[in-house]
Structure 1
Amino acid sequence: MADQSFANRYETTLVPVIFRPWAQELIRRAAPSDGENILDLACGTGAVSREIILSNVKPGSLTGADMSADMLAVAKARAKAAGIAADWVEAEAGQLPFDDNRFDVAFCQQALQFFPDRVGALRELRRVMVPGGRVAFCVSQDLSLNPLLAAQAAALDKNNGPEAGAAVRAICSLTDGDEIGALFEDAGFSDVRVDSVSLALSHPDGRAFAEGALGGMHTGDKLSQLDAERQQRCIQDFLTGLGDCYDGVALRFPHVSNVITARA
């Protein structure tokens, strides 16, 4: 089981900077309405679910599903603290414990690239969607377009070894828009649209973000494997690798993904 502190670092460091903005983008595109039954697939710590409520949508039901019990524990605690009513279900994307035609809208951010059987998981999602139901996904584009991820991979390569860097590169392992569109079509979705979207993201304290990001990536904590001196060296290499995206204090960087919308 993953370290619970990892899920907390993920929530406090990465969600406000990366996953909340992408949640807002997906919600804008799928436009959920009051009364609809909504699924937050591979929900992590519940960023999309919370943002749906913050956008003043009153869903008929709100369900978050994730394979990580620790991520779900944080999601549940955060939702409870915010007074958000949601069901949190431990499940893999390829084996969803829901009835057919259960959901009107489904969201999934930065997870499709990690599904072992992508088409199988999408077919399973289509099964639990009402006919004509809407889905919205986002998947990171190439490392060369994402300076934050490129700097992370390079710093980990140098200080932890290529296996650690490969964990970051896996985030950018499904980048071709045509390939992604074909996955959805093969799974039976229609009206499939794949758009390249770049969000301008920022954090006021680059070093604090670096410490959290290198220790709270959804590929796992790579920083704690190093002694204190090498940890600081890795953080500095990461910040240096950001180039113009780091001004010595704050981070400002583009984050580029493919955004997919489709109908079941």
Structure 2
Amino acid sequence: MSTTFADRYETTLVPVIFRPWAQELIRRAAPRTGEHVLDLACGTGAVSQELLRAGVEPGSLTGADISAGMLAVARRKAEEAGIASDWVEAEAGQLPFVEGRFDLAFCQQALQFFPDRPAALRELRRVLRPGGRVAFCVSTDLEKNPLLVAQAATLDTHAGPDAGAAVRAICGLPDGAEIGALFEGAGFEDVAVEEVSLELVHPDGRAFAAGALGGMHTGDKLSRMSDAERERCIDDFLTALGPCFDGTALRFPHVSNVVTARA
């Protein structure tokens, strides 16, 4: 619990959740070598790592996020991997880029948290060239995501309703039609929204629980607990996962709306 949230996010959540979704978005967007790429609300840079693994060489790669801590980890990981990239602290509704700067933009699990979604999408369209592409994923209904159901219920009990509500907010924009209307209202064309389920896996359920309950938009709750309280919290979380936990490993569906569109 002594590490920062951004470090725990990178080591625990990215390999299980954000790396597979980055791979899915990259597969759908089919980025081409030489394109100028924006990773909006980039977190610790999962998209940049997956572009490298896919053998794509962007003309430029820029990550934007409001969290300096996330950007610090993204910058460090990119430097370690030899990825040429820029990491910019910025709000989605006020991007510090010129019009038509990018060919392609990715955004994972963040649209639901933007305080002004229409303004953020209009701003994104502004910084894309005409015909520029976007690929987003946004968590759908809570009841379709057993990991989040278990996490919210466990935090309700052990950390209070505000902590549980923070998890439920991850599923705060579940309606695909509403999402599509947001993109169309911002001037995007060829908008497609598809509900997609990925099967996600972690070989050590207890290790994942410690990281997931200690962050993921909820703040560090476990560090405030005694050792015994922390173990009870983890036990309750794993029990709530039911058949998704086999006593050792986790295997669970993670369901999101995937959005593709053109500026």
TM-score tier (shorter): over 0.9
2:226 matches 1:198: no
Map of 1:218 onto structure 2: 217
Q: In the TM superposition, what whole-angstrom CA distance separates every residue of 1:150-206 from its partner, at most 9, and x where no partner exists?
A: 000000001111111000000000000000000001111010000000000000000
Tell me, yes or no, if the aligned pair for 2:166 and 2:217 is still in contact at 8 Å: no
Tell me, yes or no, if the aligned pair for 1:4 and 1:70 is still in contact at 8 Å: no
Map of 2:150 onto structure 1: 151
Q: Determine the C-alpha separation between the residues in 1 that align with 2:22 and 2:224.
A: 31
* Letter matched to residue 179 of structure 2: I
- Structure 2 unmatched ranges of 5 or more: none
Label 1:198 to 1:83 Cα distance change in 2 as closer, same or farther (>3 A).
same
1:218 Cα shift?
3.2
SS at match of 1:261: strand
Tell me, yes or no, if the aligned pair for 2:63 and 2:88 is still in contact at 8 Å: yes
Q: Determine the C-alpha separation between the residues in 1 that align with 2:83 and 2:231.
A: 38
* Letter matched to residue 30 of structure 1: A
SS at match of 2:77: helix
Map of 2:106 onto structure 1: 107
Map of 1:81 onto structure 2: 80
Identity rate of aligned residues, in percent? 75
1:226 Cα shift?
2.1
Tell me, yes or no, if the aligned pair for 2:139 and 2:255 is still in contact at 8 Å: yes
Q: Determine the C-alpha separation between the residues in 2 that align with 1:221 and 1:122.
A: 30
1:224 Cα shift?
1.7
Map of 2:16 onto structure 1: 17
* Letter matched to residue 197 of structure 1: V
Map of 1:238 onto structure 2: 237
| TM-score, reference length from structure 1 | 0.98
- Structure 1 unmatched ranges of 5 or more: none
Q: Any residues of structure 2 matched to 1:14-93 within 5 Å, and which? A: 14-93=13-92
Q: Determine the C-alpha separation between the residues in 2 that align with 1:151 and 1:175.
A: 18
1:26 Cα shift?
0.3
1:220 Cα shift?
2.1
* Letter matched to residue 228 of structure 1: D
SS at match of 1:224: helix
SS at match of 2:138: strand
Q: Determine the C-alpha separation between the residues in 1 that align with 2:249 and 2:34.
A: 41
Tell me, yes or no, if the aligned pair for 1:42 and 1:109 is still in contact at 8 Å: yes
Map of 1:131 onto structure 2: 130
SS at match of 1:80: helix
Q: Determine the C-alpha separation between the residues in 1 that align with 2:82 and 2:215.
A: 26
Q: Would you identify which runs of 4 or more consecutive aligned residues in structure 1 move more than 6 Å? A: none
Q: In the TM superposition, what whole-angstrom CA distance separates every residue of 1:34-92 from its partner, at most 9, and x where no partner exists?
A: 11000000000000111112110111000000000000000000010011110000000
| TM-score, reference length from structure 2 | 0.98
Tell me, yes or no, if the aligned pair for 1:13 and 1:216 is still in contact at 8 Å: no
* Letter matched to residue 119 of structure 1: P
1:219 Cα shift?
3.4
1:4 Cα shift?
6.5
Q: Determine the C-alpha separation between the residues in 2 that align with 1:119 and 1:126.
A: 11
* Letter matched to residue 104 of structure 2: V
SS at match of 2:196: strand
1:228 Cα shift?
2.0
Q: Determine the C-alpha separation between the residues in 2 that align with 1:98 and 1:135.
A: 16
